[in-house]
Structure 1
Amino acid sequence: MTIQARWNQFVDKCLSCRACELAESRQNVVVWRGGIKAPLMILGEGPGADEDRLGKPFVGRSGQLLDLFLSSFVLKKKNYIILNILK
């Protein structure tokens, strides 16, 4: 199975997940942004209101700061992946 196929399975599982209370109130499932084959992974604790609204992690004020930080290293989006982790 290819990396892309495994990734698609993971995203499908996330989209159908009902394991926590976020499933009752969320607008979107917040999974990732960036490259799925990236050598650098950045994990956040959980999605906030901006992330829920847009369906992507780190898009609010902290995400803007993170983007500024990453741009100082001249990293392309395919070279990092940003995810939220929930338990």
Structure 2
Amino acid sequence: MTEFSREPRYVVFKAADLQAVGLTEAELDLLKALNAKIDRYRQDAGKSYLECVVVEQDWPEYEPTLRAIEQRVRAESNSASA
């Protein structure tokens, strides 16, 4: 059985933090341009638009969500190795 491990696979910026940190218009434009470039890459590579659910660490749903994902990954791993 493959061991489940948490990986830093995504980069997330909270919109409120982008405002609070006081990014300049140029910095915000750069973030938007980088995001658009990544979106174009995904589209050109035949990948779907990346839409995610974010559960913050201090939310009560955080640990149950991680456990649910871990259980699914382990079940898939077990069925693939059977």
TM-score under structure 1 normalisation? 0.26
Structure number with higher strand proportion: 1
TM superposition score normalised by structure 2: 0.27
Q: Which has the higher contact order (CA 8 A, sep 6+)?
A: 2
More helix by share: 2
